[in-house]
Amino acid sequence: MSKKLRILLTNDDGYYSDGINALFKELSRTAEVFMVAPDREQSASSHSLTLNRPLRMHKLDRYHYTTDGTPTDCVMLAIHHVFKKGRPDFIFSGINHGANMGDDVTYSGTVAAAIEGAILGIPSIAVSMANYKPGTPMVNGAKFAAKFLRQYPKLDLPVSVFVNINLPVDNGKPYRRYEFTSQGFRHYKDIIIEKTDPRGQAYYWIGGRPEWKTTKGTDFATVSRGLVSISPMKLDFTDRDALKRIEDIKLRL
């Protein structure tokens, strides 16, 4: 990586969040970084695009933009508007305030931005911190992400594969220990809480708590041991084993 990289940075926590600003500062030491991020929290927005209303984007300065859209919207606006004279070399999404592991990646706006990057053929990395609490330092997480970027060429990944990194909570020491992992599993005990507003109308809160399977080699098992989880992922939901098993079956339809 001899030339100065151009990086698009986004998230789903908003442009003001600790995670994205720590990452912007660290990556900017060696790269030209453009932040295009939501102007409000967009957690659990998944891979959604805004199609039923116009989007607004505001330029704060040369390198900082905000939008009233989702993380996927941010990537689309950045690629087709901010980076008019050439695509970024990398897309970073994060650092998310909370983990994005297992089944939760399907809900995650953070991961969705990396998915959009992979669809567009741009190497993309999502970074999240498990067990985040407000005020938790993000400096060590940002430093790890920057070091990982420098080592990224060794992985020789196709652009259709994005990387999902989950950090254990910052204990004040540099992150060094990591494992390459697969996507984990969790059972979520959903709870729908029904309330009544002052006008007598019902409204609902979705709540609950996850129960993780600590399967060896998965993202959750690795992070629960205090190591960084690095998962190569791709947007192909095809079950190859099932396809091979059923491809010769004749259905009477």
DSSP state of 81: I
List C-alpha distances in Å: 228 to 77, 79, 97, 208, 219. 31, 30, 15, 26, 8
CB atoms within 10 A of CB 127: 28
DSSP state of 213: E
**Do 169 and 204 meet the contact criterion of CB atoms below 8 Å apart?**
no
Stronger pLDDT, 98 or 205, i.e. the higher one: 98
pTM for this predicted structure: 0.91
DSSP state of 250: P
Stronger pLDDT, 209 or 37, i.e. the higher one: 37
The pLDDT tens digits for 4-39 are 899 999 999 999 999 999 999 999 999 999 999 999
The pLDDT tens digits for 91-132 are 999 999 999 999 889 989 999 999 999 999 999 999 999 999
List C-alpha distances in Å: 70 to 1, 7, 112, 166, 243. 31, 19, 9, 21, 34
Helix locations, the chain, DSSP H: 18-27, 71-77, 109-119, 139-151, 219-224, 240-246
- Both tokens of 128, joined, read 């999240």
Is a pLDDT exceeding 60 seen at residue 148?
Answer: yes
Where is average pLDDT lowest: 52-56, 115-119, 214-218?
Answer: 214-218
**Do 79 and 30 meet the contact criterion of CB atoms below 8 Å apart?**
no
Tell me the domains of the chain and their CATH numbers. 6-184+213-246 (3.40.1210.10)
* φ/ψ (deg, to 5) at 80: -95, -5
Report residue 1's pLDDT band, with 50, 70 and 90 as the boundaries.
very low
List C-alpha distances in Å: 101 to 4, 87, 92, 140, 166. 31, 28, 17, 20, 7
